[in-house]
Amino acid sequence: MMADIPTISRTELAERRRKLRWQRRWRILQTSWQVVAMGGLTVGLIWVVTLPDWMLRDASQIEVEGNKFLSADTVRTLLPIKYPQFLLTLQPKTLTQRLESQAPIAEATVSRHLFPPGLTVRIQERYPVAIVYSSPTAQSGQPGNVSTESNPVALLDERGTFIPYESYVSLNRSRQLPSLKIVGMQDQYRSQWPSLYQQVSRSPVKILEIDWREPGNLILHSELGTVYCGSYGSRFAEQIRTLDQLRQLPEKLNSQKIDFIDLRNPQSPLVKIIGSEAIELPDSSRDEIPDQEDSALPDSQAVP
Protein backbone atom coordinates (compact mmCIF):
# COMPACT_ATOMS: atom_id res chain seq x y z
CA MET A 1 0.00 0.00 0.00
CA MET A 2 1.51 3.39 -1.03
CA ALA A 3 2.29 5.96 1.66
CA ASP A 4 0.08 8.98 1.82
CA ILE A 5 1.54 12.02 -0.04
CA PRO A 6 1.04 15.17 2.03
CA THR A 7 -1.06 17.77 0.32
CA ILE A 8 -0.02 21.46 0.24
CA SER A 9 -2.69 24.07 0.10
CA ARG A 10 -2.66 26.94 -2.37
CA THR A 11 -2.23 29.36 0.50
CA GLU A 12 1.02 27.67 1.61
CA LEU A 13 2.36 27.66 -1.97
CA ALA A 14 1.63 31.35 -2.33
CA GLU A 15 3.41 32.10 0.96
CA ARG A 16 6.50 30.16 -0.12
CA ARG A 17 6.63 31.98 -3.47
CA ARG A 18 6.37 35.31 -1.64
CA LYS A 19 9.29 34.43 0.66
CA LEU A 20 11.45 33.34 -2.28
CA ARG A 21 10.75 36.62 -4.13
CA TRP A 22 11.68 38.58 -0.98
CA GLN A 23 14.94 36.65 -0.57
CA ARG A 24 15.90 37.31 -4.22
CA ARG A 25 15.19 41.00 -3.84
CA TRP A 26 17.28 41.14 -0.63
CA ARG A 27 20.24 39.48 -2.35
CA ILE A 28 19.98 41.90 -5.27
CA LEU A 29 19.85 44.80 -2.82
CA GLN A 30 22.93 43.53 -0.95
CA THR A 31 24.87 43.12 -4.18
CA SER A 32 23.90 46.62 -5.29
CA TRP A 33 25.07 48.12 -2.00
CA GLN A 34 28.40 46.27 -2.25
CA VAL A 35 28.95 47.60 -5.77
CA VAL A 36 28.11 51.13 -4.67
CA ALA A 37 30.39 50.86 -1.62
CA MET A 38 33.33 49.53 -3.64
CA GLY A 39 32.83 52.22 -6.23
CA GLY A 40 32.70 54.90 -3.58
CA LEU A 41 35.83 53.56 -1.89
CA THR A 42 37.70 53.51 -5.20
CA VAL A 43 36.65 57.05 -6.02
CA GLY A 44 37.58 58.13 -2.49
CA LEU A 45 41.06 56.62 -2.73
CA ILE A 46 41.67 58.29 -6.08
CA TRP A 47 40.52 61.57 -4.58
CA VAL A 48 42.73 61.14 -1.52
CA VAL A 49 45.86 60.33 -3.52
CA THR A 50 45.38 63.21 -5.93
CA LEU A 51 44.30 65.71 -3.29
CA PRO A 52 46.73 68.67 -3.64
CA ASP A 53 46.59 69.45 0.09
CA TRP A 54 48.15 66.07 0.89
CA MET A 55 51.34 66.81 -0.98
CA LEU A 56 54.74 67.57 0.48
CA ARG A 57 55.57 70.77 -1.34
CA ASP A 58 58.74 71.87 0.48
CA ALA A 59 61.01 71.09 3.44
CA SER A 60 59.11 73.44 5.75
CA GLN A 61 56.48 70.69 6.12
CA ILE A 62 59.06 68.44 7.82
CA GLU A 63 59.27 68.77 11.59
CA VAL A 64 62.56 67.68 13.21
CA GLU A 65 62.74 66.60 16.85
CA GLY A 66 65.54 65.38 19.12
CA ASN A 67 68.35 67.28 17.38
CA LYS A 68 70.81 69.18 19.57
CA PHE A 69 73.83 69.87 17.41
CA LEU A 70 72.57 69.10 13.91
CA SER A 71 70.34 71.89 12.67
CA ALA A 72 66.83 71.05 11.50
CA ASP A 73 67.72 72.26 8.00
CA THR A 74 70.71 69.91 7.91
CA VAL A 75 68.53 66.94 8.86
CA ARG A 76 66.01 67.88 6.16
CA THR A 77 68.72 67.95 3.49
CA LEU A 78 69.65 64.34 4.37
CA LEU A 79 66.19 63.10 3.32
CA PRO A 80 66.04 61.87 -0.32
CA ILE A 81 62.81 63.74 -1.16
CA LYS A 82 62.10 65.55 -4.42
CA TYR A 83 59.48 68.26 -4.03
CA PRO A 84 56.56 68.32 -4.64
CA GLN A 85 55.73 64.72 -3.76
CA PHE A 86 52.56 62.94 -2.68
CA LEU A 87 52.75 62.30 1.03
CA LEU A 88 51.27 58.80 0.82
CA THR A 89 53.92 57.66 -1.67
CA LEU A 90 56.75 58.31 0.79
CA GLN A 91 58.10 55.25 2.61
CA PRO A 92 58.99 56.08 6.25
CA LYS A 93 61.16 52.95 6.56
CA THR A 94 63.29 53.95 3.57
CA LEU A 95 63.71 57.48 4.92
CA THR A 96 64.65 56.11 8.35
CA GLN A 97 67.33 53.85 6.87
CA ARG A 98 68.77 56.75 4.90
CA LEU A 99 69.03 58.93 8.00
CA GLU A 100 70.63 56.18 10.10
CA SER A 101 73.27 55.65 7.40
CA GLN A 102 74.53 59.17 8.04
CA ALA A 103 77.46 59.31 10.45
CA PRO A 104 76.15 61.71 13.13
CA ILE A 105 72.76 59.98 13.52
CA ALA A 106 72.51 56.90 15.73
CA GLU A 107 68.74 56.30 15.54
CA ALA A 108 65.87 57.82 13.58
CA THR A 109 62.13 57.44 13.12
CA VAL A 110 59.99 59.02 10.40
CA SER A 111 56.20 59.28 10.59
CA ARG A 112 53.60 60.80 8.25
CA HIS A 113 50.65 62.92 9.33
CA LEU A 114 47.79 64.07 7.10
CA PHE A 115 46.31 66.90 9.16
CA PRO A 116 48.19 69.06 8.49
CA PRO A 117 50.10 67.19 5.77
CA GLY A 118 53.76 66.67 6.62
CA LEU A 119 56.46 64.49 8.17
CA THR A 120 57.85 64.25 11.68
CA VAL A 121 61.48 63.15 11.99
CA ARG A 122 62.88 62.15 15.39
CA ILE A 123 66.61 61.55 15.67
CA GLN A 124 69.16 60.56 18.28
CA GLU A 125 72.58 61.98 17.53
CA ARG A 126 76.00 60.46 18.09
CA TYR A 127 78.21 62.58 20.32
CA PRO A 128 81.92 62.19 19.56
CA VAL A 129 84.18 62.18 22.61
CA ALA A 130 87.59 61.77 20.94
CA ILE A 131 89.37 62.47 17.67
CA VAL A 132 91.12 59.47 16.11
CA TYR A 133 94.39 60.25 14.33
CA SER A 134 96.32 58.19 11.84
CA SER A 135 98.94 56.00 13.48
CA PRO A 136 102.58 56.64 12.61
CA THR A 137 104.92 53.83 13.56
CA ALA A 138 105.77 53.94 17.24
CA GLN A 139 109.45 54.66 17.88
CA SER A 140 111.09 53.44 21.04
CA GLY A 141 112.25 56.23 23.31
CA GLN A 142 110.01 58.85 21.70
CA PRO A 143 106.85 59.01 23.79
CA GLY A 144 105.89 62.57 22.82
CA ASN A 145 102.55 63.61 21.39
CA VAL A 146 102.10 62.21 17.90
CA SER A 147 98.71 63.70 16.97
CA THR A 148 100.47 66.89 15.84
CA GLU A 149 102.37 64.82 13.28
CA SER A 150 99.35 62.98 11.84
CA ASN A 151 95.94 63.71 10.39
CA PRO A 152 92.48 63.21 11.93
CA VAL A 153 90.72 60.29 10.26
CA ALA A 154 87.64 59.72 12.42
CA LEU A 155 85.76 60.60 15.56
CA LEU A 156 84.83 58.15 18.28
CA ASP A 157 81.76 58.13 20.49
CA GLU A 158 81.69 56.71 24.00
CA ARG A 159 80.44 53.33 22.73
CA GLY A 160 83.37 52.91 20.34
CA THR A 161 81.51 53.77 17.13
CA PHE A 162 83.69 55.32 14.44
CA ILE A 163 82.32 58.47 12.79
CA PRO A 164 84.06 59.55 9.55
CA TYR A 165 85.82 62.82 10.29
CA GLU A 166 85.10 64.69 7.05
CA SER A 167 81.44 63.63 7.04
CA TYR A 168 80.89 64.82 10.60
CA VAL A 169 82.71 68.11 10.17
CA SER A 170 80.81 68.92 6.96
CA LEU A 171 77.48 68.47 8.77
CA ASN A 172 78.55 70.15 12.03
CA ARG A 173 80.57 73.19 11.03
CA SER A 174 79.58 75.11 14.14
CA ARG A 175 80.07 72.17 16.51
CA GLN A 176 83.21 72.26 18.68
CA LEU A 177 85.23 69.07 18.30
CA PRO A 178 86.26 67.04 21.37
CA SER A 179 89.63 67.86 22.92
CA LEU A 180 90.65 64.26 23.67
CA LYS A 181 92.88 62.70 21.01
CA ILE A 182 93.69 59.07 20.39
CA VAL A 183 96.38 57.45 18.26
CA GLY A 184 96.60 53.75 17.45
CA MET A 185 92.90 52.93 17.91
CA GLN A 186 92.23 49.52 16.36
CA ASP A 187 89.14 47.34 15.99
CA GLN A 188 90.30 44.89 18.67
CA TYR A 189 90.32 47.72 21.23
CA ARG A 190 86.74 48.86 20.61
CA SER A 191 85.25 46.50 23.20
CA GLN A 192 87.61 47.99 25.83
CA TRP A 193 87.07 51.59 24.81
CA PRO A 194 83.80 52.27 26.74
CA SER A 195 85.35 51.37 30.11
CA LEU A 196 88.66 53.10 29.31
CA TYR A 197 86.90 56.29 28.26
CA GLN A 198 84.71 56.31 31.38
CA GLN A 199 87.80 56.21 33.60
CA VAL A 200 89.73 58.74 31.54
CA SER A 201 86.80 61.17 31.46
CA ARG A 202 86.47 60.97 35.26
CA SER A 203 90.17 61.40 35.92
CA PRO A 204 90.92 64.42 38.16
CA VAL A 205 94.13 64.84 36.15
CA LYS A 206 93.19 65.94 32.64
CA ILE A 207 94.12 63.44 29.93
CA LEU A 208 94.91 65.15 26.63
CA GLU A 209 95.89 62.24 24.42
CA ILE A 210 95.86 58.43 24.41
CA ASP A 211 98.56 56.54 22.51
CA TRP A 212 97.48 52.93 21.97
CA ARG A 213 99.95 52.02 19.21
CA GLU A 214 101.68 49.44 21.40
CA PRO A 215 99.29 46.87 22.92
CA GLY A 216 101.76 46.25 25.74
CA ASN A 217 102.07 49.89 26.75
CA LEU A 218 99.12 52.25 26.81
CA ILE A 219 100.52 55.79 26.99
CA LEU A 220 98.61 58.76 28.35
CA HIS A 221 99.60 62.35 27.68
CA SER A 222 98.31 64.26 30.69
CA GLU A 223 98.67 67.70 32.21
CA LEU A 224 101.39 66.19 34.44
CA GLY A 225 103.30 64.73 31.50
CA THR A 226 103.58 61.44 29.64
CA VAL A 227 102.38 58.40 31.57
CA TYR A 228 103.24 54.75 30.87
CA CYS A 229 100.46 52.36 31.91
CA GLY A 230 101.52 49.07 30.35
CA SER A 231 98.79 46.80 29.01
CA TYR A 232 95.29 48.10 29.62
CA GLY A 233 93.54 46.00 32.23
CA SER A 234 91.92 45.82 35.64
CA ARG A 235 94.60 48.01 37.29
CA PHE A 236 93.87 51.03 35.12
CA ALA A 237 91.49 52.59 37.66
CA GLU A 238 94.22 52.27 40.32
CA GLN A 239 96.71 53.85 37.93
CA ILE A 240 94.40 56.84 37.45
CA ARG A 241 94.08 57.23 41.23
CA THR A 242 97.85 57.07 41.64
CA LEU A 243 98.26 59.71 38.93
CA ASP A 244 95.92 61.98 40.90
CA GLN A 245 98.19 61.53 43.95
CA LEU A 246 101.09 62.93 41.92
CA ARG A 247 99.53 66.37 41.48
CA GLN A 248 102.41 67.97 43.42
CA LEU A 249 104.96 66.62 40.99
CA PRO A 250 105.31 69.86 38.93
CA GLU A 251 106.02 71.76 42.18
CA LYS A 252 108.91 69.44 43.04
CA LEU A 253 110.36 68.58 39.64
CA ASN A 254 110.87 70.66 36.53
CA SER A 255 108.28 69.22 34.15
CA GLN A 256 110.54 69.93 31.16
CA LYS A 257 113.09 67.50 32.60
CA ILE A 258 110.58 64.68 33.14
CA ASP A 259 110.77 62.10 30.38
CA PHE A 260 107.75 60.10 31.56
CA ILE A 261 105.91 58.82 34.62
CA ASP A 262 105.87 55.04 34.94
CA LEU A 263 102.66 53.67 36.47
CA ARG A 264 102.97 50.13 35.17
CA ASN A 265 103.13 49.20 38.84
CA PRO A 266 100.78 51.77 40.40
CA GLN A 267 101.92 50.84 43.92
CA SER A 268 105.51 51.79 43.07
CA PRO A 269 105.37 54.72 40.62
CA LEU A 270 108.57 55.86 38.97
CA VAL A 271 109.58 59.13 37.34
CA LYS A 272 112.09 58.95 34.49
CA ILE A 273 114.27 62.06 34.33
CA ILE A 274 115.77 62.96 30.95
CA GLY A 275 119.39 61.81 30.88
CA SER A 276 119.02 59.93 34.15
CA GLU A 277 117.57 56.74 35.54
CA ALA A 278 114.15 56.47 37.10
CA ILE A 279 113.35 57.85 40.55
CA GLU A 280 111.06 55.79 42.71
CA LEU A 281 108.53 58.00 44.44
CA PRO A 282 107.65 57.71 48.15
CA ASP A 283 104.75 55.65 49.41
CA SER A 284 101.02 55.78 48.80
CA SER A 285 100.02 59.33 49.76
CA ARG A 286 102.83 60.83 47.61
CA ASP A 287 102.82 63.77 50.01
CA GLU A 288 106.61 63.80 50.24
CA ILE A 289 107.74 63.93 46.64
CA PRO A 290 111.47 64.71 46.65
CA ASP A 291 112.58 68.12 45.45
CA GLN A 292 114.53 68.26 42.23
CA GLU A 293 117.68 69.10 44.18
CA ASP A 294 117.23 65.90 46.16
CA SER A 295 116.47 63.78 43.12
CA ALA A 296 119.97 62.37 43.04
CA LEU A 297 118.86 59.52 45.25
CA PRO A 298 120.40 56.11 44.99
CA ASP A 299 119.54 54.80 41.58
CA SER A 300 116.47 52.62 41.54
CA GLN A 301 115.53 50.19 38.86
CA ALA A 302 115.85 51.81 35.47
CA VAL A 303 112.85 51.68 33.17
CA PRO A 304 113.61 49.75 29.99
Q: What average pLDDT does this structure show over 17-34? A: 83
Q: What average pLDDT does this structure show over 210-237? A: 96
Coil, strand or helix: which one is 233?
Answer: coil
User: Residue 146: its pLDDT value, please?
Assistant: 60
In this chain, the answer to whether the domains covering 53-125 and 128-294 adopt an identical fold is: no
Instruction: Tell me which of 3.10.20.310, 1.10.10.60, 3.40.50.2020, 2.40.30.10 is the CATH number of domain 53-125.
Output: 3.10.20.310
Dihedral, CA of residue 54, residue 57, residue 60 and residue 62, to nearest 10: 50
pLDDT bracket for residue 145 (50, 70, 90): low
Q: 155 near 177, Cβ under 8 Å?
A: yes
Indicate the pTM of the whole model.
Answer: 0.72
Tens digits of per-residue pLDDT, 230-282?
A: 999 999 999 999 999 998 888 888 878 889 999 999 999 999 988 888 788 76
- pLDDT at 303 exceeding the cut of 70: no
Q: How far apart are CA 188 and CA 77, in angstroms?
A: 35
Tens digits of per-residue pLDDT, 47-106?
A: 666 655 788 999 999 999 999 989 999 999 999 999 999 898 999 999 999 999 887 899
Delimit the domains of the chain by residue range.
Answer: 53-125, 128-294
Q: Return mean pLDDT, the chain.
A: 84
Q: What average pLDDT does this structure show over 214-241? A: 96
Q: What average pLDDT does this structure show over 143-164? A: 82
CATH class in words for 128-294: alpha beta
